[in-house]
Chain A
Amino acid sequence: MNAENNNTILLDHGAGGKASHALFSKMILPLFSNEYLDMGDDGAVYPVPAGRMAFSTDSYVVDPIFFNGGNIGDLAVNGTVNDIAMCGAIPLYISVGLIIEEGLPINDFQEIIKSMATAAGRAGVKIVTGDTKVVPRGKADKIFINTSGVGMIPDGVNVSGSRALPGDKIILSGTMADHGIAILTAREGLTFDGDLKTDSAPLNHMVKTMLSSGCEVHVLRDPTRGGVGTTLNEIASQSGVGMTLFEKDLPIKKQVNGVCELLGFDPLYIANEGKLLAIVPEKQASKVLDLIKADTFGKNAAIIGQVTDQRPGKVFLETAIGGQRLVDMLTGEQLPRIC
């Protein structure tokens, strides 16, 4: 059988023989091509500048694999780029592991690879090594992707979830819950007025601008799974501080808020894929906010709260009507398989 001419991915494509080779050299390499990948060795060999590095990995099993504003491919690249950036690093190289279910349409595969290449280009990272496996029908769901990556931390940069200090301001780089709600509506075939799109985006340029501005940044984190609420809880307990958020200042799109109301979700716990939380000293907050707002992906950024020395480890929300409530860690799965 000639696997190359078929229009779906077959087990042959992962068997290491001719078909595998064709898949890699015809469909993957031309799109990902760079001097390190092109070497064609078992692993990537690349130069590194002196200093500290950041290394991160993440696996993507999102269902559905295509959704409004993106697909599993760019999500996987952006996700790892952002994880590295949140360490205060400049992402350089990433690896890609593909686990494909037999029967995935070749067109879908190509579209995913193409988006990965575009996302890598946009973020300015190189895909330097990778692996492809094909598993029998039913042993995976269409395609799973693992990406890992490394980045360099510039001298003098020191960001960590344990560095939030009382008095610091909390900045969110844009509207909450866009990704989770886009996936949910795509998956459930729910149709709503307006444009519910994922916010999946690389945040490394935004981070670089912030860090090279001379402003002090204590914490950077991207509120993916578990949303803003869970991420801030993690930081609060890591740093041993309390936090107060202001409901009136939380950026959220009207349509997203509407869907949350309708389905009974709290947007504070819904995933984002192109947003970051920056915790910075009060006196630099407005400058950092301006820098974030100047970035393509930070237009709706806002200061959403502050770090306090009250009730360490806890996050509170001042509601729009003047009440107060606890924002606890998310328990259980609010939305499974969103990334």
Chain B
Amino acid sequence: MGLTYLEKFRDPSLAKNLVAAIHKESRHPLRLMEVCGTHTMAIFRHGIRNILPETITLLSGPGCPVCVTAQKDIDAFVAVSRQPDVIVTTFGDLMRVPGSGTTLAGQKGAGADVRMVYSVFDAVTIARQNPEKQVVFCAVGFETTIPTIAAAVLMAAKEKVTNFSIYGANKLTPPALAALMTTPGVSIDGFILPGHVSVITGVDAYRSVFETHKVPSVITGFEPIDILHAVLMLVRQNESGVPALENAYPRAVRQSGNPKAREVMHQVFTVCDAAWRGIGLIKNSGMELKPDFKVFDAGARFELNLTDVAEPKGCACGEILMGLKTPVACALYKKVCTPMTPVGPCMVSSEGACAAYYNYG
């Protein structure tokens, strides 16, 4: 029996060869950032960190959607759930992220109707089934999820599901990378770029960041072989002194990505500035509803009276997302902040760096 598709990308002997090559070729210390939370999780789950040579430090980047959601947005989700006759729908991870007061899970415990969904379309269905209620979807995601959210908004518009709305905190990846590279103190020798996001954006979306900063960059998938392959490519680029923007995930990512998905996304959303947790406002890094679709904006539908709030004291999520610190360097890590009693979102999300350090040690 031949290897199945997935097994091929977990083949121990293939992995061994890649690891051997990395050990052999890596001479200078390198700080490589896996931008995406799914990569962080895969790296820990497959135990990749401890088979790499000491020269290589892996840093977790700003690519865990829950982790980069600003405190104010979390507060907004909570505030929406307090409104009468509202059903709040959300992806699971978001439920337990502490806002300045409580969490969505806390609200649910206190009687609010908060439901976990696997897809934004489930939220539209819930809206259809509960015409007397307002159904709000908490939209946090990157290029991977934004087109689906856009498609759901289009569907709601077409079918006149007027009690459906979204509270948008969507984010774009390339502007965050550009912002990172101009942040003082940040030093990154290579980016492991997210496979799923790139399926939509394509390789071209990273071109301008790459041309400006010349940081070695490799797009890759989430199987161990994909990740090891990307690490080896980044080692080679660094050792040879020739940075490049490469695609190690051609089985899924095309040069121009998925123009159709982007078209849907841009039909509904337009680029705006966005606040990233711990990092601050990044220009042109968010997506908001276009005027034609503003009727689906939960932010406009409800009066939420939100105030700017400081992020929890001592939580180093922001610095961790920028590769300036590792979770163990956070004074609260494991002492005050654990997955049971999370202080910051990085400890809540299964893709968060702090949770990964804690769970997979």
Q: Which residues of A contact B (CB under 8 A)?
A: 188, 190, 248, 254, 261, 263-264, 266, 317-326, 328, 331-332
Contact = CB atoms under 8 A, between A and B. Distances in A.
B339 A331 contact: yes
Contact of B51 (A254, A263, A321): A321
The 10 A-B residue pairs with the shortest CB-CB distance, nearest first, are A323-B47, A321-B15, A326-B361, A331-B339, A325-B47, A319-B47, A325-B360, A324-B47, A321-B224, A319-B46
Contacts of B44: 325
Given A321-B19, A325-B361, A331-B338, 11 more contacts: A190-B118, A263-B118, A264-B41, A318-B47, A320-B46, A323-B47, A323-B48, A326-B360, A326-B361, A331-B340, A331-B359
Interface string B271-310: 0000000000000000000000000000000000000000
Interface string B117-150: 0100010000000000000000000000000000
Interface string B1-21: 000101000101001100100
Nearest to B48: A323
B119 to A, nearest CB: 9
Contacts of B361: 325-326, 328
26 contacts: A190-B118, A261-B6, A264-B350, A264-B351, A266-B45, A318-B47, A319-B47, A320-B12, A320-B46, A321-B12, A321-B51, A321-B224, A321-B225, A322-B19, A322-B51, A323-B49, A323-B51, A323-B224, A324-B50, A325-B47, A326-B359, A326-B360, A328-B359, A331-B359, A332-B339, A332-B340
B358 interface: yes
Contact of B46 (A188, A190, A264, A323): A323
B96 interface: yes
Given A254-B4, A261-B6, A328-B359, A321 B96 contact: no
A321 B6 contact: no
A264 B355 CA distance: 14
A325 B40 CA distance: 13
A266 B41 CA distance: 11
B193 to A, nearest CB: 19
Contacts of B339: 331-332
B45 A319 contact: yes
A184 to B, nearest CB: 9
Nearest to B356: A325
B118 A321 contact: no
B361 to A, nearest CB: 4
A261 B38 CA distance: 11
Contacts of B46: 319-321, 323, 325
Contacts of B118: 188, 190, 263
Contact of A248 (B4, B12, B47, B228): B12
A321 B338 CA distance: 29
Interface centre among A254, A317, A318, A320, by most B CB within 10 Å?
Answer: A320
Contacts of A188: 118, 122
Nearest to A257: B6
